[in-house]
Structure 1
Amino acid sequence: MKILVSIGLSVILLFSSLGSQGFTYAKSKTEKKDAAEQMKSAFVIEKETGKVLFTKDSNKELPPASMTKIMTLLLIFKGLDRHDFSLKDKVSVSEHAASMGGSQVFLEPGETMTVDEMLKAITIASANDASVAMAEYIAGSEKDFVNRMNKEAKKLGLKHTHFKNPTGLPVDGHYSSAHDMAIMAKALLDHEKVLGYTSRYEDYLREDTENKFWLVNTNKLIKTYPGVDGLKTGFTNEAKYCLTATATRNNMRIIAVVMGAQTPKDRNKKMAQLLDQAFANYKTKKLINKNHTVKIVNISKSEKQNVPVVTQKPVVLLLKKSDSGKNVKKRMVIKKHLQAPLKAGTVVGYYELRKNNKVLAKTPLVINQDIKEASWWQLFKQSMGKIVH
């Protein structure tokens, strides 16, 4: 009899235990948020038009972790374009640069690498030591480079960004937002050579030495999502998992930012969803190429009175997939009373695409050459020519 009671009690306890576990499981499943939504902010734009396709708390100031290196890379590529230095230039590593923790390629004090090799380390391996080495090489010190980063942020109109270092290593007062990261990425992507680095899944440093170092891209979407060719991941305990990604499909480039995801899987899942939505719902139509002459203007007091005005970027129309693009009106707005001197790249107007009195796209128009001020003799000859004519 005691045995039967014992067995009965065991069965009751077993079912009670199973019931308790089943309830707990059901409760956790109910309370559990969608993993893909467990992010602090997100922002999606089309690259050429800058049109916002998705936003979630995009101005929230958050630690950007290694996405900070987007600004570091922007200053490097601007320096390359100005010919301040070249990809072949040698960069010597200081003790300070070599001491950086976190992601690194274990540079040694006194070691030298080319700018090209440093770019590989930064873009593929997110190397903090290489980032600081380049900052010191460009500006003389990390502090002066950070000042340049903040000046560039102001120049881009970023209102929710402040940098304290070129790496993204945690420090109070170092923050950005999903919106601002997308604008930085847009500016960086104007330097198309960066994609030659960010699109590589793997590469090597010190390849011809005994210290050969294998680089593997921290952005796994390079391999798993068709069209992704950049741009920068980020992680710290404070920032959680972040990613600024860019992808192309059917000649349309999307930039998307996710900040504060709980796991790398959550981050990549949400990023894929954002890119899928953008490509599924939108298309672009290029109307005019970059550097295309759209008008000849008269520049007063200049050596050359008739100067070509060109598109700074391609004129692109962003449309929903269901939109044919009919009834879109085009017009140019050129500044009046242009006067020399003017530097190449000076914005002198805009090429606008409008529909129902709403501006759909606004492409800057620029002078593509330096316009010098004419001498008094040249001005005299020009005025005499007008009289004779």
Structure 2
Amino acid sequence: MNESAIKQSLSVLMISFMVMVPFQQTAEGKTNLDINADAAILVEADTGKIVYKEHEDELLGIASMTKMMTEYLVLEAIHEGRIKWDQTYKVSEKVYQLANAPGLSNVPLQAGREYSVRELYDAMVIKSGNGAAIALSEVVAGSEGEFVKQMNAKAKELGFEHYQFVNSSGLSNYDMLGMFPEGTDVNDENMVSAEDIATLAFYLIRDYPEVLETSGLPSKVFRPGTDEELLMKNTNGLLKGKSYDYEGADGLKTGTTPFAGSTFTGTAERDGVRYISVILDAKDEYGQPSSAERFIQTTELLDYGFDEFETVEYQLEEILKEKEQVVDVPDGVKQSVGIKIQKPISIRVAKEEKDKVKASVKLDEAKLNEDGTLQAPIEKGEKIGEMIVEMPEKSEYIFNNLKPTYKVDIIAVESVEKASWLVRSARSIQGFLGNLFN
């Protein structure tokens, strides 16, 4: 067999070359993080990959982070046309009392007055208004009790494994002045694991990215120019101008109750890379719940993601180790075809590890001849295979630990017609004679 025939055979039977690249650590890896909380987790916002975890499956109190589920259901109702931003809500007696109860986080809502869904949503997301959250639950479901059923149903739909929603605001039921939702008990608490809260944040940002436009506001004036005008200050300490100002931070939700302690779901984006972090019941050096520590520890988690990992792009030339990206087409008029991908595959990988991720290029078997060669005719833009990047087995994801595969289509950059029978026969004879003399 001559050199040309050998190269042709090897190149088209199966293009599958492995390159070794780094992978991200999870909690099993060694880190320098000093997280003092009941539970914590850090995940990639685009893939759901777990970068760090600590007691992530424990069912724990979440306090006002409950409002993230309320946000999801409100935004879902908006997108489905069941409610509108400008529709109004007349304050119920329950909402009036809880929106004006001393000691509870609120934007005071007045009895007998009407508020738009947008006003209530802003008050809930920015100021963590409990009355506003309950009002929205009544707008969406008619009553808070029915809304709680929707919350738990949505949690199941999104794949939560450890959860219990008992009201729309995150208050302890015993703080609701006896007006806790029907179907729940006075001693019930909203409880969700860190991993499931991260899952909620993942879907909230993915399905309704506009949530970050509101959650990222350091402050906003409620009903400006009226007798109810109020400067609502965001409780997220990582936002611009706040005590723990963090570059790229734009969400997501704090929570504080005696039962849950100090909790926080944070998120930040830098250079197109976003992470989601969850801290449940952050403690200080004396083991006491600490509002400041939830932001300090979140900063540690986010720094770990941004500093210890880098974005790596996978291109065809890096896998094929060839300057020109072509595949042989032995039965074509032209005996090769250029190939390309629409965009490279980008993943975050640990800087210090370079031998676990596998990248490969594989041709579509349906487009191969019996001998494994790519067959003509081929149309310009036709998919002829895939470039695939696979993460190592130890990688974990928030989607019930299912490992996604990163794929991109490989397409032909030109058309190749099938050669005539006479031309193909002549090539076969030429190849036979070449092999014979060699």
CA contact (8 A) 1:351 1:362 kept: no
Gaps of 5+ in 2: 1-32, 174-187, 283-288, 316-343, 365-385, 396-402, 409-438
Kindly report which structure 2 residues correspond to 1:120-135, keeping only aligned pairs within 5 A, or say none. Answer: 120-135=122-137
CA contact (8 A) 1:219 1:233 kept: yes
2:350 is the counterpart of 1:320: yes
Paired residue for 2:160, among 158, 161, 167? 158
Superposed displacement of residue 256, structure 1: 0.1
- Comparing both structures, which one devotes a greater share of its residues to helix? 1
In 2: Cα distance, 1:62 partner to 1:356 partner:
30
Kindly report which structure 2 residues correspond to 1:299-338, keeping only aligned pairs within 5 A, or say none. Answer: 316-321=346-351, 327-329=358-360
Cα distance change of structure 1 residues 260 and 92 upon mapping to structure 2, 3 Å threshold: same
Superposed displacement of residue 361, structure 1: 3.6
Cross-structure match for 1:188: 204
Cα distance change of structure 1 residues 355 and 54 upon mapping to structure 2, 3 Å threshold: closer
- The aligned amino acid for 2:77 is G
Classify the secondary structure of the residue corresponding to 1:133.
helix
Cα distance change of structure 1 residues 252 and 154 upon mapping to structure 2, 3 Å threshold: same
Superposed displacement of residue 93, structure 1: 1.8
CA contact (8 A) 1:49 1:316 kept: no
Cross-structure match for 2:89: 91
- The aligned amino acid for 2:405 is K
2:405 is the counterpart of 1:362: yes
Cross-structure match for 1:137: 139
CA contact (8 A) 2:172 2:189 kept: no
Cross-structure match for 2:52: 54
2:314 is the counterpart of 1:271: no
Cross-structure match for 1:15: none
Cross-structure match for 1:305: none
In 2: Cα distance, 1:148 partner to 1:187 partner:
16
2:195 is the counterpart of 1:179: yes
User: Structure 1 residue runs of 4+, over 4 Å off?
Assistant: 285-288, 322-327, 330-333, 355-360
Q: Percent identity among equivalent residues?
A: 31
- The aligned amino acid for 1:280 is D
* Cα-Cα RMSD: 3.0
CA contact (8 A) 2:62 2:170 kept: yes
2:215 is the counterpart of 1:198: yes
- Give the alignment's TM-score, normalised by structure 2: 0.61
Superposed displacement of residue 244, structure 1: 0.1
- After superposition, give the CA deviation of every residue in 1:95-126 in whole Å (9 maximum; x if it has no partner): 11222241110112222221211111011100
Superposed displacement of residue 327, structure 1: 4.9
Classify the secondary structure of the residue corresponding to 1:215.
strand
Classify the secondary structure of the residue corresponding to 1:222.
coil
Kindly report which structure 2 residues correspond to 1:253-268, keeping only aligned pairs within 5 A, or say none. Answer: 253-261=274-282, 262-268=289-295
CA contact (8 A) 1:80 1:86 kept: yes
Gaps of 5+ in 1: 1-34, 289-313, 334-349, 366-389
CA contact (8 A) 2:39 2:58 kept: yes
Classify the secondary structure of the residue corresponding to 1:328.
strand
Classify the secondary structure of the residue corresponding to 1:258.
strand
Cross-structure match for 1:218: 235
Classify the secondary structure of the residue corresponding to 2:37.
coil
In 1: Cα distance, 2:97 partner to 2:230 partner:
18
In 2: Cα distance, 1:96 partner to 1:141 partner:
11
CA contact (8 A) 1:48 1:316 kept: no
Cα distance change of structure 1 residues 363 and 151 upon mapping to structure 2, 3 Å threshold: farther
- The aligned amino acid for 1:106 is P
